[in-house]
Structure 1
Amino acid sequence: MSALLLEARNLTKVFRLRSGLFAKPSGHVAVNSIDLELMQRERIGVVGESGSGKSTLGRLLLGLTSPTLGEVRFEGVAHTDRRSRDWSKFRMQTSLVQQNPLSALNPQMTIGQQVAEAVWVHRVADRAGALDRTAAMLERVGLSSAMMNRFPHQMSGGQRQRVVIARALILEPKLVVFDEAVSALDVSVQAQVVSILRSLWQELDLAYVFITHDLRIVRHLVDRIAVMYLGRAVETGDIKTVYEWPRHPYTRALLASVPTMDPRVRNVAPPIQGELDISKVTQGCAFRSRCPFAIDRCASELPELRQVERQHVACHRAEEFPRSIVARMEIAE
């Protein structure tokens, strides 16, 4: 059985807001009481609409943002207990891949310099060794080592994203957070990057958190999935179980909105109506104003995340939904 790599308990982040000089400070709860465990070499997908708190959660896990409440432990050590030397080791063992590769890369540095930079900074190898390591990593992500002397503007979007992935994996970290890593790419390039990520996961001793709004992509890349809505986890479970029998109305709506190429299949459920409503967070179920199955209890009582068969669901009516409202999707092994 794999060992526990990362653990988050009651993880909460509140951003303080102020609209004017004499205005009373207010707060936006971006992440609300999240519990998460990630084993070595495990792959977890975090899905939800923009504004659901996915990216903030990723930054909290990596210690790039400090939590308001709760804690994160990596290999048993809490982020709050780390000293400067511990943080340096932690940064070698973890990495982040962001959505926009062009903004993540320095336009004045060559590709080779940027991928090799972490090797130099952490003194893993000398200059020659770092460049050799960089060339090998570029080949592993499907790029020619001849591209080392190019600048970011001389590459396509798909090539730049591969460079960012190569930079994130150059030190062979134990944990990588992919934050919308393929959402800006066209479909054909997405498929290539997904194939690369699957191959690298098999080759490396790697666990990752894959953050996305695209349920069509995530099913090929993860073992477990967590669905977030306005900062809270509303459904979690292994990817096949959740896709075959979504128990939360929000998960069911997200899956129903995924397009299918099969002309014999129609999505029978309507897309999600309305917009994210932050005002609904303070009491009851935050999804109730957009949920066609809401009852009076949903407005007054917050549904806790509880076990329903093989997954955990935050819905008062989770047991009432039939097995599937969407076409079955093939889950890649």
Structure 2
Amino acid sequence: MNTPLLQTRDLTKAFRHRTGFFAKPTSQLAANAITFQLSQRERIGVVGESGSGKSTLGRLLLGLTPPTSGDVWFEGVNHRDLSPAEWTKFRIRTSLVQQNPLSALNPQMTIGQQIAEGLLVHRIVDRSGALERASTMLERVGLSRVMMDRYPHQMSGGQRQRVVIARALILDPKLVIFDEAVSALDVSVQAQVVALLRSLWQELDLAYVFITHDLRIVRHLVDRIAVMYLGRVVETGDIKSVYAWPRHPYTRALLASVPTMDPRMRNIEPPIKGELDATKTAQGCAFRSRCPFAIGRCSTEIPELRATGGQQAACHRAEELPRSIASELVVPQREELAP
């Protein structure tokens, strides 16, 4: 059996907060017992509202945030067992693309210097070789070599995002975490970046985790999807299965919130009501106060993530939920959208 590229087990991160000088510290679970695995060249999307724990999960996977409990394995090796030298090798084989490309780039360094920096830090090639490889990578992401000497403020948002992607790929990583990588871009530029990511994945030996709140975008980019709510994965499975028949009310609500230009299909399901409430996580289903399908059992028993239909869902009534009309709006309708 092949070893997964990435694997987690009961991965948990709790942040402590103090609301006042004399107040007792409280804990909030940003990631709650998350278990999943990612194979070589596989693509998984992590979706949910702001505050659901998506970015925290991404940082945990890359070892940028230490977990409170649980484990992460990369290529069969536990993060806890990595020596400083092995952490350096791990940094070469993994990468992160952040949400805001302007803040991710150094305003005092040229584009060429920033793309080549990783090669120089890890002493893979000399300076001239690093700059040559940087210019080649710049062309690979659809930009001209003449931009090597430009600074971030001299480029558009879409161009800067391509630069950040080029910098992330310059070391030929096996795993990339895209954290809201297209959310700051306008729709036309988003389409260009999505097309770029699909093309690069086909060319490179690459697996990635695509973190986003936009279900309209993620369907074009991943094989599997994991829906997070207040630190827990509430539904996961093959992208087409989940979109065709979402088995968790939260997934249904997210799909219903995807805008459509068809006037006949608007407002077909109620939007999500209320706000994220972290106090609901201790007992029962955390989504129960916002769920139109909630029953008495939902307030006393935490639903486990279990197989239902073609996916897994953490809902007591997963088998009872009808097919969502909203899913028909966002499930890929044309073969050319499939990778």
Structure 1 and Structure 2 fold alike (TM over 0.5): yes
Give the match for residue 110 of structure 1. 110
Give the number of aligned pairs: 333
Give 1:2 shift. 6.3
- Aligned twin of 1:71: 71
Partner of 1:192: 192
Gaps in structure 2 of 5+ consecutive residues: none
For normalisation by structure 1, the TM-score amounts to 0.98
Larger deviation, residues 17-26 vs 54-63: 17-26
Q: Deviations over 1:19-78 (max 9, x none)?
A: 223221111110000001000000000000000000000000000000001010000111
The Cα offsets for residues 194-244 of structure 1, whole Å up to 9 and x where unpaired, read as 000000000000000000000000000000000000000000000000000
Is 1:320 paired with 2:320?
yes
Q: After superposition, where does 1:201-212 map in structure 2 within 5 Å?
A: 201-212=201-212
Is 1:329 aligned to residue 330 of structure 2? Answer: yes
Match of 1:247 in 2: 247
Distance 1:300 1:150 in 2: 59
Structure-1 separation of matches of 2:108 and 2:128? 21
Q: 2:217 — aligned with what?
A: 217
Matching residue of 2:144:
144
1:14 is displaced (CA, Å) by 0.2
Which residue in 1 is equivalent to 2:44? 44
Contact 1:98 1:179 survives alignment (8 Å): yes
Work out the CA distance in 1 between the residues paired with 2:4 and 2:229.
26
Letter in 2 for 1:160: R
Report the residue type matching 1:213 in the other structure.
H
In the alignment, is the contact (CA less than 8 A) between 2:215 and 2:254 conserved in 1? Answer: yes
* Aligned pairs for 1:226-237 within 5 A: 226-237=226-237
Q: Which residue of 1 aligns with 2:5?
A: 5
Percent identical pairs in the alignment equals 75
Residue pair 1:234, 1:248 contacting (<8 A) in 2 also: yes
Q: CA contact under 8 A between 2:3 and 2:76: conserved in structure 1?
A: no
Contact 1:243/1:328 (<8 A) preserved: no
Over the residues paired in the alignment, what is the CA RMSD in angstroms? 1.1
C-alpha distance 2-165 of structure 1, shift in aligned 2 (>3 A):
farther
Counterparts of 2:25 and 2:147 in 1: how far apart (Å)? 50
In structure 1, the residue matched to 2:279 is: 279
1:138–1:163: 8 Å Cα contact kept in structure 2? yes
Structure 1 match to 2:123: 123
Task: Determine the C-alpha separation between the residues in 1 that align with 2:47 and 2:263.
Answer: 26
Contact 1:97 1:165 in 2 (8 A): yes
TM-score, normalising length: structure 2:
0.96
> Aligned AA for 1:291?
C
Alpha-carbon distance, 1:18 to partner? 1.4
Answer yes or no: is the 8 Å Cα contact 1:244–1:328 preserved in 2. no
Query: Does structure 2 conserve the Cα–Cα contact (< 8 Å) formed by 1:2 and 1:40?
Result: no
